[in-house]
Structure 1
């Protein structure tokens, strides 16, 4: 299965914030969309970084409540791992596990076209196993 198959099912909408948005605004976007991370982008297509709930918690612990008025650029992860729409889900699962990342933006020709979470990857694996199980049951039931 390819990443484009996941995006076809879940959609390509990506929540983004600008690097100069406040951490408080970031939290509002996370809550509004019930998500764990957003892509930081100046224009909705280029990737400047990624910011997650974990980033907020780590920095909030150090900086205190004043962090909420600071720009997202101060807490975001700048080195963002990405994948293309033609990448295989199995390879992505390995990348996410090895590098301990839960969200990977999907990029095509240097443009943000979607995002895949570890939950999306796990769901695709469960769906594939369920499909395989159904085929095996059907095969066994048809055997003389």
Structure 2
């Protein structure tokens, strides 16, 4: 399965914030959308970084509550692992595991077109495995 197929089912919406937004405001966006990460982007198309709940938690531990007033660019991950819509789900799962990332922005022709979480990847892989199992059962049970 390709990431483009996964995005067709999931949708292409991506929550973004500019790097100048405070960490407190970014947390409010995360809570409002019920998500674990935001793409940091000045225009909703360009990827400058990604900020996750984990980044904020580590920043709070290191710097204290004053971090909440700082810009999100202070805690974001600037070296973002991205993929294209043509990438395979299995390959992305490997990348996410190897690099210990839970959210990967999907970029095509330099523009943000979606985001995939580890949960999306696991669900897609489980769906693929179930389809394969059903095909095998049908094959074995056919006369």
Same fold (TM over 0.5): yes
Structure 1 SS opposite 2:51: strand
| Mapping for residues 53-132 of structure 1, pairs under 5 Å | 53-132=53-132
Deviations 1:1-56 (A, max 9, x none): 10101100100000111100000111011111111111000010001100000100
State the shift of 1:141 in Å: 2.5
Q: CA RMSD in A?
A: 0.8
Specify the alignment match of 1:30 in structure 2. 30
- Runs of 4+ aligned structure 1 residues displaced above 4 Å come to none
Partners of 2:21 and 2:76 in 1: how far apart?
11
Q: Which segment is superposed worse, 60-69 or 22-31?
A: 60-69
Partners of 2:128 and 2:91 in 1: how far apart?
15
Unaligned 5+ runs, structure 1: none
Partners of 1:78 and 1:107 in 2: how far apart?
15
State the shift of 1:140 in Å: 2.5
Deviations 1:69-128 (A, max 9, x none): 110010000010100000111111111111111110000000000001111111011000
Partners of 2:20 and 2:118 in 1: how far apart?
27
State the shift of 1:63 in Å: 1.5
Partners of 1:125 and 1:44 in 2: how far apart?
29
The alignment's TM-score, normalised by the length of structure 1, stands at 0.96
